[in-house]
Amino acid sequence: MLKVVIRADASSYIGSGHIMRCLVLADSLKLDGHDVLFATRPQNGDLVTFIKQRGFSIYELQQPSDWLVPTSTADYASWLQVTEYDDAQECATAFDSPDLVITDHYGIGVQWHKVVKKAYNCKVIVIDDLVREHAADLIIDQTLLREPSEYHLLNPKTTALTGTQYAIINTHFSSRHLSQLAVVNTLKNRPRVLLSMGGIDAPNASLQVLKVLKDSVNPPITTVLLSTRAPHYKSVTKFAIEQSAWLTHIDFVDDMATLMCEHDIAIGAPGSTSWERACVGLPSIVIALADNQQTICKNLEVVGAAISVELEAISKNLIKAYEQLITDYSKMRTINLQLCDGQGVKRIMKHITQLLNGSLSLRLATQLDVEQVYAWQCEPETRRYALNKDVPSLAEHQAWMTKKLASKSDYFYVIELTKSKDEKAVSVGVVRLDKTAENTYTISIFIAPEHFGKGVAKLALKQVDILHPTKIIHAVVLKENTASQALFSRAGYQRINEEQFTRQPVE
């Protein structure tokens, strides 16, 4: 189990999008067996309670002596409420040796990353949309039409994952995507419209849109989604009550994928929700509420997935855009379904696994490893859960291992860790695959006691998946060895009975 820290904020100025997409990634990291901690600054409009409700621990950063008010929607420096350096210094001493730090914050950049990376010697992943400079190992930018070449990479080993194939949206959307591909969706005479302008909607675009729809000849059946944290929540709910014949208001929804599939058209702010709409084939009218959303609006229009209306021109241009969308509905729906398949987090997790595995490798054992492996075999911790509790003599071990190394059908690996490219690799354990049938193997793994609890076994199993994706692999784990039973379960092995697990071929 590796330690992961996610540094992100939500507020009445920032909105909720950064935290919400980080929660999606956090869910996958947690499911993969990692320990995830959120580092966030409590403030007006935050999501501290919601993060805790989702099952994650929080490190609450210090309150500023004076609260800053951003001068514009692009005043990202004020979003932190302290200087970038001060935020980095606090974070550089706050955590217990994280293996990975993820940032999703427009107020955090290269200076912050360098300070924290130096403090913990950890991997850094950045989620960004603004094509800024970062001192990171991995950059994720889900912006439509974004290219990796747009990023100036300080380190040639840094990978930039760009485009909607890496959209960080809930995994529920991938199954909905498949079902929507099979649906022949014809637009009804009175479309169902989903209006969602984000968690805050500071300019109250929701009410502006609703008033325009109300004055149309035949208002569409409309659902407006607006949270209680929004400053104009009361005015929208009041309007919804007055117009209940065609309008429904909801505060929050757990299953956004299902809600979207119940509607034909979306009107809303761009951002991560743009890729959610695309995934389920929901054509939309997009209204940018901040400077950083302009690129998304432009690119969605370029590919024909949405129609953009400026915030200042809602009353003038919304109905025209709505009528155009209805005319082009079928074509736009097809384009949206082609933009995003909902598999972004799955693709990102593969890169994260490779990144974390970068310091771990499996090499084929040789005769030079015989004595080291024997020393590990003699450790009480190794014999404790071994199927054969008897400690062999050195001669017996040499004969056994020599035979194993000569086998043409089995695999005998030594697990190695490398802290940096300048340091020699250190041997920390063994993984064996013994062939039992065609394309079928039994796995054995043990780690040197001094490396227990560092996630080595988990990373080694990930490496086995990479090296042998087409093999069927069985594992026998004594029922009292609860740690190893949990290890194999988290690694994707199916339990067959009390002490047997199996892993089918992986993608």
pLDDT digits (tens, 9 = 90+) for 403-417: 999 999 999 999 998
Structural domain contains residue 81? yes
Q: What is the pLDDT of residue 205?
A: 98
Judging by DSSP bridges, how do beta strands 35-40 and 57-60 pair with one another? parallel
Beta strands in 399-467 (DSSP E): 411-417, 426-437, 440-447
Residue 1 confidence class, pLDDT cut points 50, 70, 90: low
| pLDDT for position 15 | 93
Q: Could you tell me if 29 and 59 lie in one domain?
A: yes
224 and 144 part of one domain: no
Beta bridge partners of 30: none
User: 179 is in which domain, residue-wise?
Assistant: 172-339
Point out the domain boundary residue: 301, 319, 354.
Answer: 354
Please tell me whether residues 103 and 229 are part of one structural domain: no
Let me know if residue 226 belongs to a domain: yes
Closest by alpha carbon to 134, among 103, 162, 88, 165? 103
User: Which CATH number belongs to the domain containing residue 410 in this structure?
Assistant: 3.40.630.30
pLDDT recorded at residue 381: 86
Mean pLDDT of the chain: 93
Span 57-86, average pLDDT: 95
- Can you tell me whether residue 420 is helix, strand or coil? coil
Q: What is the pLDDT of residues 207-257, one digit of tens each?
A: 999 999 999 989 999 999 999 999 999 999 999 999 999 999 999 999 999
- Give the end of a domain, one of 298, 327, 354: 354
For residues 312-339, give the mean pLDDT: 97
> Does one domain contain both 140 and 54?
yes
Among 304, 319, 354, the domain boundary falls at 354
Regarding whether 213 and 87 lie in a shared domain, the answer is no
151-195: pLDDT as tens digits:
988 888 899 999 999 999 998 999 899 999 988 777 878 899 999
Identify the residue with better confidence: 75 or 507. 75
Q: Looking at residue 458, what is its pLDDT? A: 84
Query: 469 lies in a domain?
Result: yes
The residues, any chain, with a CB within 8 Å of residue 245's CB and separated by 6 or more, are none
Domain match, 123 and 253 both = no
Closest CA to 48 of 92, 10, 14, 74: 10
Task: Answer yes or no: is 359 within a domain.
Answer: no
Q: How confident is the model at residue 13 (pLDDT cuts 50, 70, 90)?
A: very high
Residues 113 and 17 in one domain: yes
User: What number of residues does the chain have?
Assistant: 507
In a domain, 83, yes or no: yes
Whether 141 and 234 share a structural domain: no
Range scoring the smallest mean pLDDT among 27-36, 49-58, 109-118, 413-422: 413-422
Per-residue pLDDT at 416: 94
Instruction: Calculate what percentage of the chain has a pLDDT beyond 90.
Output: 81
88 within domain boundaries = yes
Q: Residue 187's pLDDT is what?
A: 84
**Share of the chain residues as helix, strand and coil, in percent rounded to the nearest 5:** 40, 20, 40
Q: Are residues 331 and 182 in the same domain?
A: yes
Among residues 256, 250, 312, 316, which one has the least CA distance to residue 287? Answer: 312
Q: What is the pLDDT of residues 444-467, one digit of tens each?
A: 999 999 888 777 898 899 889 889
Helices and strands (H and E) in the chain: how many? 18, 20
Within a domain: 396 = yes
CA atoms within 13 A on the CB side of 170: 18
Confidence at residue 385, expressed as pLDDT on a 0 to 100 scale = 81
Same domain? 164 vs 227: no
Q: Write down the pLDDT at residue 189.
A: 82
CB-CB contact of 300 with 274 (8 Å): yes
Report percent pLDDT > 70 for the chain: 98
The answer as to whether 360 is a domain residue is no
At 21, which CATH number?
Answer: 3.40.50.11190
- The total of structural domains in the chain comes to 3
Give phi and psi for 75, each to the nearest 5.
-85, 70
pLDDT of 421 above 60: no
Per DSSP, helices labelled H in 268-343 are: 272-279, 294-303, 314-327, 329-339
Same domain, 260 and 179: yes
Cα angle at 194 between 269 and 278, to 5 degrees?
Answer: 65
Query: Is the pLDDT score of 399 beyond 70?
Result: yes
pLDDT (average), residues 495-503 = 95
- Tens of pLDDT, residue by residue over 102-160, are 999 999 999 999 999 999 989 999 999 999 999 999 999 999 999 999 998 888 889 99
- Decide if pLDDT at 394 tops 60: yes
**pLDDT score, position 260:** 97
- Can you give the pLDDT at residue 428? 94
Pairwise pLDDT comparison (360 vs 167), residue with the higher score = 167
Tell me: do 245 and 155 sit in the same domain: no
The whole-number average pLDDT for the span 360-367 is: 93
d(CA 138, CA 141): 10
Over range 489-504, report the average pLDDT: 93
